[in-house]
């Protein structure tokens, strides 16, 4: 997922976050508490100014490690076992520190100061820049995107706003697609939700890239899992029948709406084509062995290994999902 800020802008907003937290510690605990928490001496430049650009070692602080892991998670889809706690901790820090009142003050400060030439971090004159120029909403946006991605990875219900954020479009666009039944949704308390496994195939068609999960929750570098151990999405019809290996007839799989049918000899090629259809259609045998067209209403996840084994034997009668 592309992120629209520079490294310097991220650094400066992180400096601002830590500055505000240090000032809060001074107010609540006592003068100097913020400095002690940062491991700074009373003679440090930041001790005299309490200005973000005097925090020269921001990249060495734990908070920046949290930010960098979250950034890799959102930008590079890189999972780490610390991500959930990173997101939770940074969310609290951002929400409590950059409250609406504080953000409004920053905006007013920028408006009153007008356009100014902002030096690079730590350059001469940087410590004279009003704090409002250090805030761009970068951290709040990172937290929001990471929170939405976590819902997908932890199989939690998605709001339409979550999906809009994950594929970088406006929420009304997602609502329109939901009404057109491009992916299944449910309403609860006058709010529309989607289950991740049902919305994910459509999201991937719109450019969403799934998180790259390691073989285990450790950060030890491992060889990637074999392709056949992956989970794949398989369309399921209203009657519970699914597009399985036993949908083959005459050695081929037939997919597509009536009049636009295409035949495939390879099951996974046919499955891939089905996933790209706005509404999947395929032929499968009924209770009497007669192949008729059915329409997919949702998707189920299955292990690729199970499907490959089923290709060489009869998995279940009449294309029913295994129990």
Q: What is the pTM of this model?
A: 0.64
149 domain-assigned = no
Number of structural domains the chain divides into: 3
The mean pLDDT of the chain is: 84
Q: Tell me the β-bridge partners of 301.
A: 233
129 domain-assigned = yes
Q: Tell me the β-bridge partners of 285.
A: 291
CA distance 90 to 74: 14
Q: What is the CATH number of the domain that holds 205?
A: 1.10.10
111 or 302, higher pLDDT: 111
Among residues 84, 108, 142, the one where a domain terminates is 142
Same domain, 133 and 54: yes
Among residues 170, 200, 224, the one where a domain terminates is 224
Same domain, 29 and 49: yes
51 domain-assigned = yes
Q: Supply the pLDDT for residue 321.
A: 41
% of the chain beyond a pLDDT of 90: 38
Q: Supply the pLDDT for residue 313.
A: 54
- Maximum average pLDDT range among 114-123, 157-166, 190-199, 294-303: 157-166
Same domain, 138 and 185: no
1 domain-assigned = no
> Which single residue is written with the structure tokens 């100061």?
113
Phi-psi category of 189—alpha, beta or left, where left has phi over 0 and alpha has psi -120 to 50? left
Same domain, 13 and 116: yes
Asked whether residue 308 carries a pLDDT value surpassing 50, the answer given is: yes
Asked whether residue 172 carries a pLDDT value surpassing 90, the answer given is: yes
**In whole angstroms, how far apart are CA 216 and each of 79, 80, 213, 296?**
10, 10, 8, 33
CA distance 264 to 98: 56
276 or 323, higher pLDDT: 276
Q: Model confidence over 57-109: pLDDT tens digits?
A: 888 888 999 999 999 999 989 998 899 999 999 999 999 999 999 999 999 99
Q: Model confidence over 270-286: pLDDT tens digits?
A: 998 998 888 899 999 88
Among residues 224, 258, 280, the one where a domain terminates is 224
Asked whether residue 219 carries a pLDDT value surpassing 50, the answer given is: no
Burial class, 16, CB count within 10 angstroms (exposed 0-12 / middle 13-18 / buried 19+) = buried
Asked whether residue 323 carries a pLDDT value surpassing 70, the answer given is: no
Same domain, 21 and 61: yes
Q: Supply the pLDDT for residue 103.
A: 94
Same domain, 124 and 13: yes
Same domain, 131 and 16: yes
Same domain, 11 and 138: yes
Q: Supply the pLDDT for residue 221.
A: 38
Report the SS3 class of residue 197: helix
221 or 9, higher pLDDT: 9
Averaged pLDDT, 39-63: 87
Nearest to 316 by CA among 302, 297, 298, 296: 302
Where residue 140 falls among pLDDT bands split at 50, 70, 90?
very high
Same domain, 21 and 104: yes
148 domain-assigned = no
150 domain-assigned = no
Where residue 320 falls among pLDDT bands split at 50, 70, 90?
very low
Domain extent, residue 168, equals 155-224
47 domain-assigned = yes
Report the SS3 class of residue 22: helix
Same domain, 77 and 97: yes
Report the SS3 class of residue 62: helix
Would you list the DSSP string of 68-129? HHHHHHHHH-B--TTHHHHHHHHHHHHHHHS-HHHHHHHHHHHHHH-S---PPTTSTTGGGS
DSSP state of 217: S
DSSP state of 52: G
Where residue 128 falls among pLDDT bands split at 50, 70, 90?
confident
Same domain, 121 and 11: yes
Q: Supply the pLDDT for residue 187.
A: 85
Among 37-51, 65-79, 118-132, 160-174, which stretch is predicted with the lowest mean pLDDT? 118-132
193 domain-assigned = yes
Q: What is the CB-side half-sphere exposure of residue 304 using CA atoms within 13 A?
A: 13
Same domain, 237 and 220: no
């Amino acid at each position: 997922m592309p992120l629209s800020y520079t490294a310097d802008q991220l650094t400066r907003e992180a400096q601002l976050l830590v500055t505000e937290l240090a000032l809060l510690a001074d107010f609540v605990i006592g003068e100097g508490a913020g400095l002690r928490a940062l491991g700074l001496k009373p003679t440090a430049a930041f001790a005299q100014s309490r200005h973000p650009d005097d925090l020269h070692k921001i990249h060495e602080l734990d908070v920046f490690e949290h930010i960098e892991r979250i950034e890799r998670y959102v930008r590079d889809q890189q999972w780490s076992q610390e991500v959930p706690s990173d997101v939770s901790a940074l969310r609290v820090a951002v929400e409590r520190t950059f409250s609406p009142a504080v953000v409004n003050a920053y905006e007013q400060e920028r408006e009153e100061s007008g356009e100014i030439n902002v030096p690079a971090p730590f350059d001469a004159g940087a410590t004279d820049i009003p704090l409002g120029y250090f805030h761009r909403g970068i951290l709040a946006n990172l937290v929001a995107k990471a929170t939405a991605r976590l819902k997908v990875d932890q199989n939690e219900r998605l709001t339409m706003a979550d999906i809009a954020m994950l594929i970088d479009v406006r929420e009304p666009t997602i609502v329109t697609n939901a009404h057109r039944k491009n992916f299944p949704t449910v309403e609860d308390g006058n709010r529309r939700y989607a289950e991740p496994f049902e919305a994910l195939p459509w999201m991937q068609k719109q450019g969403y890239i799934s998180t790259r999960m390691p073989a285990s929750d450790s950060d030890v570098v491992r060889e990637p899992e074999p392709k056949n151990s992956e989970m794949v999405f398989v369309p399921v019809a209203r009657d519970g029948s699914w597009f399985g290996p036993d949908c083959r007839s005459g050695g081929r799989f037939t997919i597509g709406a009536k009049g636009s049918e295409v035949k495939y000899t390879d099951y996974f090629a046919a499955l891939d084509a089905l996933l790209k259809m706005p509404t999947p259609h395929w032929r499968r045998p009924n209770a009497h062995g007669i192949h008729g067209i059915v329409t997919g209403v949702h998707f189920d996840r299955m292990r690729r290994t199970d499907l490959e084994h089923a290709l060489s034997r009869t998995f279940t009668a009449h294309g029913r999902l295994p129990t």
